[in-house]
Amino acid sequence: MSVSPHVKSKETVGRIMWTVSATLVPLLISSIFIFGFQTLVITAVSVLSCVAVEAISQKCLHRPVTIKDGSAVLTGLLLAYVIPPGVSILVPVLGAVMAIYVAKHLLGGIGSNIFNPALIGRAFLMATFPVAMTSAWLSPSAGGFFGHVQTGVDAVSTATPLFVLKHFGIQGVIDKFGSLPAVYNHFLMGLRPGCIGETSAVLIILGGLFLLYMKYISWHIPVSVVLSVAFFTWVFGGDAYFTGNPILAVLSGGVLLGAVFMATDYVTAPSQPIAKLIYGTGIGAITVLIRLKGGYPEGVCYAILLMNAITPTLETHFRPRRFAPPKGAAK
């Protein structure tokens, strides 16, 4: 017989990365229609920068250049999707350097990074461009294809729904978007200010269902993140925040994008089912804690990064038992 491994699969790193990237394309198309072609420019710059930094990093570190596997493209897409559509093109370039060179290759390359590279890039941009990253929002009527449609959001300022919810409560959102059913509709379809890839809940859910069908992800992390955000908001939200409305908590900000495409990253998330549930619940709890008690209205990015740090401990604690007895054990 040949030497191990004997288990073979048609799935490769490249196939998985390119498939996930393709799943993210509808979000980009939707964002172009909602916010205009600025989103395409930002996304293209982010992807090209990540690919270029990947190639340069691997050359400088004397490693094989593997830009064809699609991992840098996927990081570039995710980095762009957590950036406001109105930022300068310099922003995704610097984010790509931090995400690919620092967070990925200085830590050993693909499969060795501790933290999600795209979210490290976002955290870096939040620290270096705090004004742009918290104010460069575009209204759905500003350059998008829906500007002529009376969606109820034409008069909405470029403040995100999370900002309005945090500072003015649910009544402030209703004043801006109309009735509560209209709010749900706009949040589901993406007709609201937000980051490039986080606005359309419907497309994110459909993408997640496709990844579940392909068995690229399991339900444990996305479901536990969503349910924990909804539960802790309902219990601790109170009148001053979401009025205990778990639906708005889930549909606002980057909860769904983070739960489906960020928290499920193979490298930085645990692999065992129980560990995944704990991991996802921790992300949801920290997200709500930051939203409720922090000065920044969003918390998904930092919640995922904090739980990334706990992944090695979860993997060790919930490691499957060996089939064979330990060496030296009594027979």
CA atoms of 96 and 24, how far apart (whole Å): 18
pLDDT at 108: 85
Cβ proximity of 50 and 76 under 8 Å: yes
pLDDT at 155: 38
- Average pLDDT value for the chain: 85
Indicate if the alpha-carbon torsion angle 314, 318, 322, 325 is positive or negative.
Answer: positive
Is residue 223 pLDDT above 80, yes or no? Answer: yes
pLDDT at 203: 94
Under the banding of pLDDT at 50, 70 and 90, the label for residue 156 is: very low
pLDDT at 245: 81
CA atoms of 31 and 82, how far apart (whole Å): 12
Residue with tokens 């762009």: 80
DSSP category for residue 261: I
Under the banding of pLDDT at 50, 70 and 90, the label for residue 226 is: very high
Is residue 39 pLDDT above 90, yes or no? Answer: yes
CA atoms of 102 and 121, how far apart (whole Å): 9
| Closest by CA position to 139, among listed 152, 124, 120 | 152
- Report percent pLDDT > 90 for the chain: 53
- Report domain extents, the chain: 13-135, 200-316
Cβ proximity of 252 and 276 under 8 Å: no
pLDDT at 146: 47
Q: What pLDDT digit, counting tens, does each position of 99-134 carry?
A: 999 999 998 888 888 999 999 999 999 999 998 898
pLDDT at 152: 45
Q: What pLDDT digit, counting tens, does each position of 241-270 carry?
A: 445 688 888 988 899 999 999 999 989 999
- Residue range 59-81: average pLDDT? 93
Indicate if the alpha-carbon torsion angle 279, 284, 289, 294 is positive or negative.
Answer: positive
- Residue range 160-171: average pLDDT? 74
Is residue 147 pLDDT above 80, yes or no? Answer: no
Alpha-carbon distances of 231 from 191, 224, 228, 244, rounded to whole Å: 25, 10, 5, 9
